[in-house]
Amino acid sequence: MMKLAVIGSGYVGLVAGACFAELGHEVILVDNDAVKVNALQRGDVPIHEQFLPELLERHRNRRLSFTGDLAAAVKASDAIFIAVGTPPTEDGEADLSYVESVARGIAGSIDRYKVVVEKSTVPVYTSTWIRKIMLLNGAPPELFDVASNPEFLREGTAVTDFLFPDRIVIGADTLRCAEVLRECYQPLVGGAYYLCPEAIPGPEDASVPPPLICTSAKSAELIKHACNAFLAMKISFVNAVASICESVGANVKQVVHGIGSDSRIGPRFLRPGIGYGGSCFPKDLLAFRSVARECGYDFRLLDEVIRINEEQRHRFLRKVRKALWTLKGKRLAVLGLAFKGGTDDLRESPAIAIVKCLLQAGCEIAAYDPAAAGHAAESFAHRGMSFADTAYDALQGADALLILTDWEEFAALDLDRAYDALRYPIVIDGRNLYEPELMAEHGLVYYSMGQPDAVPEKRATRTLKLA
């Protein structure tokens, strides 16, 4: 057992703190927001994430505690993980002011050897700057090391991603520092955690135990940004391919099957849709591009990845106009507001961007999302926006159905019931959850991304509800 402090109770910090406690460590989670700390102490779970409520309930007030006292947490811990926000500035650079503030606070509380670990996604050289800031604020140089330990968590599966990772990357510039981080993850890399009867169940294809990759701090910092940039590039690439498929009459699912079967490429992140979003990809691409520019490299490939992603939203809106001709006064059912299924995160959600454009065009929106509707209702104050309790409530009387998030329940709709609820049998699917042939069999006119449009042959035999 080690004593760890995690600074920041946001997405990364909360998941990391709960999972480290699950591994048997004594964890203090620190936040300067007293409201958040009090809520966590009461047992509130602020984010929608599978298995997180169970871990918080299992370890709260046992191996996991919450506080606003940074100094006390630092003094009590062997390693301090910095997991505060790094939002983008207007020019795309990462705002590291929160990281700097925490580094100053840690420096004043060093009383024995500590390892200070970057857990937030930060640009290269951040570890160097953290060390400089701590030295300037009086931290004895022999009593601390700074390391990088990037997270590779996907929202919706963050707990299993932490406990069953593809790899664990630790960037340390001294052997002593590397050994401390190795001890933090020993229950995983040694395999002991997977023998526990109460261990969280992992995916079938998990690599157990995971490999531990030791690098320099700078290399670890670059690994995180390069990884996210590459994954975003795969998404934009397949969306560009989907556009070509539509032009020539090919089916992007068939093309993707052929591409993804190549072991050098693989099928993951080759799903066409309305583009990537969330708190990581958009921010990290801008930050990585900014780092490249500072180093004198014009990373134009990233510019094109970003451009294609933005264009996807416009392509989808053109599909809506194609299906409905005019938008003003149309009532649309929208399924999905979060940027992806399995989470309630609305940050940089392409679904939200599309809904805003439709509202500006004069549409009325009835939206349903299993987890994000509450957050959306707090931020949307538009008279044309309403929120339904179920998917079928949203569909009732709508001129068309728009699928914007890949929740599993949206891929399992009762299509006959959906047909009966809609005013016109039109579905515009931004996530390719259905096969065109199946939709046509159920009398639905179906538009998707990179697949042929589907128009039922016996469409006229069903009475459209015009009143």
- Active-site residue set: 280
DSSP string, 272-305: -SS---TTTHHHHHHHHHHHHHHTT---HHHHHH
What does each C-alpha distance from 191 to 184, 198, 207, 211, 212 come to in angstroms?
13, 14, 11, 11, 12
Structure tokens at 209: 């135990």
Instruction: Return the structure tokens found at 66.
Output: 């919450």
The identity of residue 134, as a single letter, is: M
How far apart are the C-alpha atoms of 402 and 365, rounded to whole Å?
A: 10
Which residues, listed in sequence order, are joined to residue 365 by a DSSP beta bridge? 332, 385
In angstroms, the CA 83 to CA 98 distance is 10
Paired residues of 81 in beta bridges: 6, 117
- Compute, in degrees rounded to 10, the torsion defined by CA atoms 358, 361, 366, 367: 20
Rounded Cα gap, residues 253 and 450, in angstroms: 8
Which residue in 159, 122, 27 sits closest to 40, CA to CA? 27
User: 42: closest CA among 54, 56, 32?
Assistant: 56
Angle between helices 126-136 and 217-248 (to 10 degrees): 140
Give the dihedral of Cα atoms 330, 333, 339, 344; nearest 10 deg: 130
Question: b/e per residue, 430-463, with b = 16+ CB within 10 A?
Answer: bbbbbebeebbebbbbbbbbbbbebebeeeeeee
The rounded radius of gyration (Å) of the Cα atoms in the chain is: 24
